[in-house]
């Protein structure tokens, strides 16, 4: 596992080597704060509603950060010409993928931690149960892990960062919109598609303060599948190389 | 010779045939209507799968030594696909036999087997195709590719099974306090006590976000024994008409021949408020369907709380309490002095005397004493400084009020910011009596609020079984001179504020009476507090002899509105929108500059 941690640490540090990483976090925090103020703090709302709304809208920002952060994971290596070094390194593919994933996920955790002042403001000016916050953050981290894994996969598949980001955003949007598709499909297939939905079928429970085992298992499955597929994609690239 | 015979058919043809067989199954299962055509299609699909397997077998037999392993993998993959198709056909027979569980099991196995087989075969064919220009197919690479396909597909099937299991297990940790994610104990108790089967029908479009909010709650009710059905009003018109539902966004509750429907709405923003009170709404409707209607009489024209409000031209301060009584499927009637003077009506299941400020006449008191002595039920809410003339009735119940108003110099709620707030006390000390059962269960979280309450004591030599159900905090004092300060001559310590009394009867059920030395405890203002609301529910259920139905779990009193002030809102806006991001940006600039300076050294 040592190479995995080395790759993870290198990736994590790379985000903070230039002001770009900080700029990305600051810009998204600014948008997040603005959206939070405009949509949730206008008019009379109970603390519970505001916290629920906060976690619901945070899911979109966390997904955006995850997509933007992971697009560079492998695609940048290809663009800068360091991919060959990576592919010929005497490491199994899964260690490379896991290292890149953990580095990006660490950065995402920093973003999530930095945005915590918003629910803390609600705590000061209203009243919320810590349990609700815990459940919400578990959900945000789980959803962030899923999107990060999908971003890692698309980055492993693409040659350009932009294409990786567009691909990841499309897959995530598709998983966010499964509920709509499920409405048009009857029977078991409709239920299966509804189950695939990331948001309404699964994430909504977290934003309401409920941690469901089925949701955690589903998210973990998606992370595993995406990382496995990324490993396979890397292996295929190695064969091609 | 053998090699040339092996090449009579293209190597990929068996795999293509297997995919055709799978397409036939899909056609029969999903697109064709059930019947002869679908059956024929399934049989043809089965035949095609067998043919594909046979062709692959022949190819294996004639394959040269270097290709045998890869050909063996192909046979194995196609055997899996064939097994999947066979299981699909068997599932169709199970459907004919109406063996639902067997069919589900067979279908799951069929999907798993055919998926793994198809992906493995596809990976193998793709690998072979990639090497089509090579002088010889690299067997090792082909095996690796098919192995990868099999591992991926098997992993996916395993994940689907794990997800299915987790979903069926339905374990959850509920950390919300106001969301309708789970029914309260009271609602569950009502459901379980129902003699009729209860069914919930949710009229919503499938993709409705409001339905997504409701699912957890109603699935928990389903797990507790109710039936649950989600229907689209536009598609299930007959059902909707039978339940008097004319639009989506409606919840219907069916209990035997009776049903109740109420609208929540499909617009999430509009439905939000109703969703918060979902459990109360469900409990009220359940009570309407499951409980027999009782009659509750409220005395009036003795300066009771509702009378006082009407006289002063104010809204009824006890309206919510009346609503709570009605929500438990009780009929509320007023008991006039003239009627009370004769006797308490025989159909009275409960008589409520809510904070009288004028004297009851002796023959009215006599009627009440006769009612109580005959096994009736009475809720008596008395203010300590009121001249109500009900002391003889209290004596019948083995109780006497102590002179003075209870106050505490340190532990009280601030309201008017005057010394009088010291009379705004609370209790967190409850007994295990059913009338305060839920409060006792959550006593560390629940504070029952009283305003200007009095104290009660038990009379000596009484035959009544008295339980003091709520006591004050330590160092509460009985303020007799109304200066809200603890003087030396005033008693201090623990006092009893509420008492549950039972009087055994030889030929009737025991009398039940609940006496509270404060009428504000159940007025509209204090009933906004969850523990007071809980007390009202528990007390009513005990008095009406329905205590086994329990009451709702008290939510933590943290569901409060966000308080807004102009200054605070400005601070929030600039702080959260600009200050925090700017801090991150400055930190970033500082850190990167520091790192650059460090590098040369």
Interchain contact, B585 vs A180, CB within 8 Å: no
pLDDT, average across residues B63-81: 84
Which tokens belong to A230? 């990324």
With H, G, I as helix, E, B as strand and everything else as coil, classify residue B263: strand
Instruction: Write phi, then psi, for B426 (nearest 5 degrees).
Output: -145, 160
Q: Calculate the alpha carbon distances from B241 to A32, B251, B261 in Å.
A: 46, 13, 12
Distance, CA of B393 to CA of B359 (rounded, Å): 12
* pLDDT number for residue A83: 76
Asked if B481 contacts B385 with a C-beta cutoff of 8 angstroms, the reply is no
Most confident of A78-87, B68-77, B356-365: B356-365
**Which residues of chain B neighbour A195 with C-beta distances below 8 Å?**
163, 167
CATH number 3.40.30.10 given to B185-289: yes
CA A46 to chain centroid:
28
For residue B151, the chain A residue with the least C-alpha distance is A228
Q: How confident is the model at residue B31 (pLDDT cuts 50, 70, 90)?
A: confident
Q: How confident is the model at residue B552 (pLDDT cuts 50, 70, 90)?
A: very low
DSSP state of B549: G
Helix axes of A130-157 and A47-70: crossing angle, nearest 10 degrees: 20
- Nearest CB neighbour to A22, from listed B559, B560, B584: B584
pLDDT at B575 over 80: no
A219-229 core/surface letters (b: 16 or more CB in 10 A; e: else): bbbbbbbbbbb
β-strands B405-407, B399-402: how paired? unpaired
Q: How confident is the model at residue B349 (pLDDT cuts 50, 70, 90)?
A: very high
Distance, CA of A218 to CA of A215 (rounded, Å): 5
Residue with tokens 């290809």: A78
pLDDT at B180 over 70: no
For residue B587, the chain A residue with the least C-alpha distance is A22
Within B358-494, residue ranges assigned H as helices are 362-373, 391-396, 437-441
A200 touches chain B (CB under 8 A): yes
**B293-318 pLDDT, tens digit each:** 889 999 988 988 877 666 665 556 77
Which neighbouring-strand residues pair with B295?
A: B331
Query: How would you write the pLDDT of chain A (241 residues) with one tens digit per residue?
Result: 678 888 889 888 888 877 778 888 888 888 888 888 877 776 666 677 788 888 988 999 999 999 999 988 888 888 777 777 777 878 888 899 999 999 999 999 999 998 888 888 777 776 677 778 889 999 999 999 999 999 999 999 988 889 999 999 999 999 988 877 776 776 677 778 888 888 888 888 888 888 888 889 999 999 999 999 999 888 877 766 4
pLDDT at B98 over 70: no
DSSP state of B561: B
Q: Calculate the alpha carbon distances from B535 to B213, B401, B539 in Å.
A: 29, 21, 6
- Nearest CB neighbour to A118, from listed B173, B576, B584: B576
**B466-495 pLDDT, tens digit each:** 999 999 988 899 999 888 888 888 999 899
pLDDT at B179 over 80: no
Distance, CA of B583 to CA of B560 (rounded, Å): 31
Fold of B291-549: Rossmann fold (3.40.50)
Asked if B24 contacts B44 with a C-beta cutoff of 8 angstroms, the reply is yes
Instruction: Write phi, then psi, for A157 (nearest 5 degrees).
Output: -85, -30
The residue ranking higher by pLDDT, B87 or A188, is B87
Residue with tokens 């529910």: B537
Domain extent listing, chain B:
2-169, 185-289, 291-549
With H, G, I as helix, E, B as strand and everything else as coil, classify residue B246: coil
Name the strand (E) or helix (H) holding B350.
Answer: strand B350-354
Q: Calculate the alpha carbon distances from B201 to B211, B261, B323 in Å.
A: 12, 9, 26
Q: Find, among B96, B115, B95, the residue nearest to B104 by Cα.
A: B95
Asked if B478 contacts B406 with a C-beta cutoff of 8 angstroms, the reply is yes
What's the number of CA atoms in the CB half-sphere (13 Å) around residue B317? 21
Asked if B384 contacts B452 with a C-beta cutoff of 8 angstroms, the reply is yes
The residue ranking higher by pLDDT, A168 or B578, is A168
Interchain contact, A30 vs B212, CB within 8 Å: no
For residue B173, the chain A residue with the least C-alpha distance is A211
DSSP state of B312: T
For residue A3, the distance in angstroms to the closest alpha carbon of chain B comes to: 24
The residue ranking higher by pLDDT, A39 or B250, is B250
- Give the strand order in the sheet containing B258-263: B227-231, B198-203, B250-255, B258-263
Instruction: Write phi, then psi, for B477 (nearest 5 degrees).
Output: -125, 155
Distance, CA of B50 to CA of B47 (rounded, Å): 5
**Which residues of chain B neighbour A17 with C-beta distances below 8 Å?**
592, 595
β-strands B294-299, B350-354: how paired? parallel
* pLDDT number for residue B312: 61
Interchain contact, A205 vs B181, CB within 8 Å: yes
Distance, CA of B14 to CA of B115 (rounded, Å): 16
Interchain contact, A47 vs B181, CB within 8 Å: no
Name the strand (E) or helix (H) holding B163.
Answer: helix B139-169
Which tokens belong to A226? 């995406």
* pLDDT number for residue B311: 62
Q: How confident is the model at residue B178 (pLDDT cuts 50, 70, 90)?
A: very low
What value of ipTM does the predicted structure carry?
A: 0.78
A228 touches chain B (CB under 8 A): yes
Mutate to test the interface with A, among B162, B581, B583, B585 (most CBs of A within 10 A): B581
Which neighbouring-strand residues pair with B456?
A: B401, B496
Counted domains in chain A: 1
Distance, CA of A165 to CA of A172 (rounded, Å): 10
* pLDDT number for residue B174: 67
Measured from the Cβ of residue B562, the count of other Cβ atoms closer than 10 Å reads 24
**Which residues of chain A neighbour B162 with C-beta distances below 8 Å?**
217, 221
A18 touches chain B (CB under 8 A): yes
A125 touches chain B (CB under 8 A): yes
Q: What percent of chain B has pLDDT over 90?
A: 24
Instruction: Write phi, then psi, for B46 (nearest 5 degrees).
Output: -60, -45
Which tokens belong to B79? 């055997």
Distance, CA of B202 to CA of B240 (rounded, Å): 10
Measured from the Cβ of residue B167, the count of other Cβ atoms closer than 10 Å reads 15
Q: Rg of chain A over CA atoms, in angstroms?
A: 19
With H, G, I as helix, E, B as strand and everything else as coil, classify residue B236: coil
For residue A22, the distance in angstroms to the closest alpha carbon of chain B comes to: 5
Interchain contact, A30 vs B578, CB within 8 Å: yes
With H, G, I as helix, E, B as strand and everything else as coil, classify residue B393: helix
CA angle (B183 as vertex; B179, B188 as ends), nearest 5: 170
Look at A84-88, A109-113, B516-520, B565-569 and tell me which has the smallest mean pLDDT: B565-569
**What mean pLDDT value characterizes chain B?**
82
Q: Calculate the alpha carbon distances from B584 to A113, B20, B489, B572 in Å.
A: 12, 59, 63, 17
Interchain contact, A29 vs B206, CB within 8 Å: no
* pLDDT number for residue B558: 39
Question: 3-state SS of B202-223?
Answer: EECCCCCHHHHHHHHHHHHHHH
**B375-398 pLDDT, tens digit each:** 899 999 999 988 999 999 999 999
Measured from the Cβ of residue B214, the count of other Cβ atoms closer than 10 Å reads 22
**Which residues of chain A neighbour B170 with C-beta distances below 8 Å?**
212-214
**B419-476 pLDDT, tens digit each:** 888 999 999 888 888 888 878 776 566 789 999 999 999 998 888 899 999 999 888 9
If you write DSSP's letter for every residue of B405-443 in order, what string do you get? EEE-SSS---SSSSGGGGGEEEE-EE-S-GGGHHHHHTT
**Which residues of chain B neighbour A48 with C-beta distances below 8 Å?**
176-179, 276, 559
Measured from the Cβ of residue B115, the count of other Cβ atoms closer than 10 Å reads 19
Residue with tokens 């663009």: A79
* pLDDT number for residue B330: 87
**Which residues of chain B neighbour A135 with C-beta distances below 8 Å?**
173, 175-176
If you write DSSP's letter for every residue of chain A in order, what string do you get? -HHHHHHHHHHHHHHTTSHHHHHHHHHHHHHHHHHHHHHHSSS--BHHHHHHHHHHHHHHHHHHHHHHHHTTTTHHHHHHT-HHHHHHSSS-HHHHHHHHHHHHHHHHHHHHHHTTHHHHHHHHHS---HHHHHHHHHHHHHHHHHHHHHHHHHHHH-SSHHHHHHHHHHHHHHHHSHHHHHHHS-HHHHHHHHHH-SIIIIIHHHHTTEEEHHHHHHHHHHHHHHHHHHHHHHHHHHHH-
Q: What percent of chain B has pLDDT over 70?
A: 88
Q: How far apart are the first and last CA of chain A?
A: 25
Per the structure, the complete domain to which residue A147 belongs is given by: 2-240
Instruction: Write phi, then psi, for B198 (nearest 5 degrees).
Output: -105, 135
């Amino acid at each position: 596992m040592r190479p995995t941690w080395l790759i993870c640490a290198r990736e994590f540090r790379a985000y903070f080597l230039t002001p770009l990483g900080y700029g990305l976090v600051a810009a998204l925090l600014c948008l997040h704060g603005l959206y939070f103020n405009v949509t949730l703090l206008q008019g009379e709302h109970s603390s519970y509603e505001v916290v629920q709304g906060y976690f619901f809208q945070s899911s979109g920002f966390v997904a955006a950060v995850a997509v933007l952060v992971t697009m560079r994971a492998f695609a940048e290596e290809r663009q800068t010409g360091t991919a060959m070094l990576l592919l010929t390194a005497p490491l199994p593919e899964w260690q490379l993928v896991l290292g890149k994933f953990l580095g990006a996920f660490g950065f995402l955790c920093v973003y999530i931690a930095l945005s915590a002042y918003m629910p803390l403001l609600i705590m000061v000016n209203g009243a919320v149960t810590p349990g609700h916050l815990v459940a919400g953050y578990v959900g945000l981290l789980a959803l962030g892990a899923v999107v990060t894994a999908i971003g890692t996969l698309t980055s492993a598949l693409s040659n350009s960062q932009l294409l990786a980001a567009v691909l990841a955003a499309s897959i995530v949007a598709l998983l966010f919109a499964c509920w709509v598709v499920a409405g048009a499909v009857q029977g078991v297939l409709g239920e299966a598609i509804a189950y695939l939905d990331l948001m309404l079928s699964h994430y909504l429970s977290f934003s309401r303060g409920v941690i469901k085992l089925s949701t955690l298992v589903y998210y973990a499955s998606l992370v595993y599948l995406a990382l496995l597929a990324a490993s396979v994609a890397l292996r295929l690239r190695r064969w091609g190389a | 010779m053998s090699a040339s015979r092996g090449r009579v058919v293209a190597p990929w043809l068996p795999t293509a045939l297997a995919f055709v067989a799978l397409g036939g199954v899909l056609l029969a299962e999903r697109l064709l209507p059930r019947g002869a055509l679908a059956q024929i299609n399934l049989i043809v699909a089965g035949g095609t799968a067998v043919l594909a397997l046979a062709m692959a077998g022949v190819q294996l037999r004639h394959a040269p030594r270097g290709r045998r392993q890869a050909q063996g993998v192909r046979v194995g993959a196609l055997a899996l696909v064939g097994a999947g198709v066979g299981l699909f056909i068997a599932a169709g027979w199970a459907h004919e036999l109406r063996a639902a569980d067997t069919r589900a099991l067979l279908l799951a196995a069929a999907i798993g087997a055919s998926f793994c087989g198809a992906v493995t075969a596809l990976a193998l064919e793709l690998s072979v195709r990639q090497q089509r220009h090579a002088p010889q197919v690299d067997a090792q690479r082909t095996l690796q590719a098919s192995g990868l396909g099999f591992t991926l597909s098997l992993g996916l099937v395993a994940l689907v099974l794990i997800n299915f299991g987790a979903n069926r297990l339905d374990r959850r940790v509920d950390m919300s306090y106001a969301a309708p994610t789970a029914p309260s104990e009271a609602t569950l108790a009502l459901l379980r006590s129902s003699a009729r089967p209860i069914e919930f029908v949710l009229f919503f479009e499938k993709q409705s976000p409001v339905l997504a909010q409701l699912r957890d709650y109603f699935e928990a009710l389903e797990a507790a024994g109710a039936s649950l059905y989600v229907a689209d009003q536009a598609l299930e018109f007959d059902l909707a008409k039978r339940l008097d539902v004319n639009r989506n966004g409606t919840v219907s509750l069916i209990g035997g021949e009776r049903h109740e429907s109420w609208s929540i709405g499909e617009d999430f923003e509009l439905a939000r408020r109703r969703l918060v009170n979902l459990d109360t709404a469900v409990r009220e409707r359940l009570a309407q369907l499951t409980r027999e209607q009782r009659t509750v009489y409220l005395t009036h024209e003795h300066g009771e709380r509702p009378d006082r409000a009407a006289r002063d031209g104010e809204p009824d301060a006890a309206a919510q309490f009346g609503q709570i009584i009605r929500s438990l499927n009780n009929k509320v009637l007023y008991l006039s002095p003239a009627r009370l003077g004769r006797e308490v009506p025989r159909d009275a299941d409960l008589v409520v005397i809510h904070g009288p400020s004028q004297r009851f006449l002796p023959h009215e008191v006599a009627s009440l004493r006769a009612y109580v002595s005959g096994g009736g039920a009475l809720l008596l809410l008395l203010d300590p400084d009121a001249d109500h003339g009900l002391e003889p009735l209290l004596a019948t119940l083995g109780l006497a009020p102590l002179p003075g108003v209870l106050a505490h110099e340190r532990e009280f709620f601030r309201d008017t910011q005057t010394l009088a707030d010291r009379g705004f006390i609370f209790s967190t000390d409850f007994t295990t009596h059913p009338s305060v059962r839920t409060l006792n269960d959550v006593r560390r979280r629940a504070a029952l609020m009283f305003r200007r309450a009095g104290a009660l004591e038990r009379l000596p030599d009484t035959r009544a079984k008295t339980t003091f159900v709520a006591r004050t905090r330590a160092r509460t004092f009985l303020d007799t001179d109304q200066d809200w300060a603890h003087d030396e001559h005033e008693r201090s310590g623990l006092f009893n504020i509420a008492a549950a009394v039972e009087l055994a009867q030889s030929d009737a059920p025991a009398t039940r009476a609940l006496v509270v030395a404060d009428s504000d405890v159940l007025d509209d203002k204090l009933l906004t507090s969850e523990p007071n609301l809980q007390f009202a529910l528990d007390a009513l259920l005990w008095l009406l002899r329905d205590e086994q139905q329990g009451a709702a779990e008290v939510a933590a009193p943290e569901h409060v509105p966000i308080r807004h002030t102009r200054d605070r809102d400005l601070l929030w806006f600039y702080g959260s929108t600009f200050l925090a991001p700017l801090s991150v940006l400055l930190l970033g600039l500082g850190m990167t500059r520091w790192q650059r300076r460090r590098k040369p050294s």
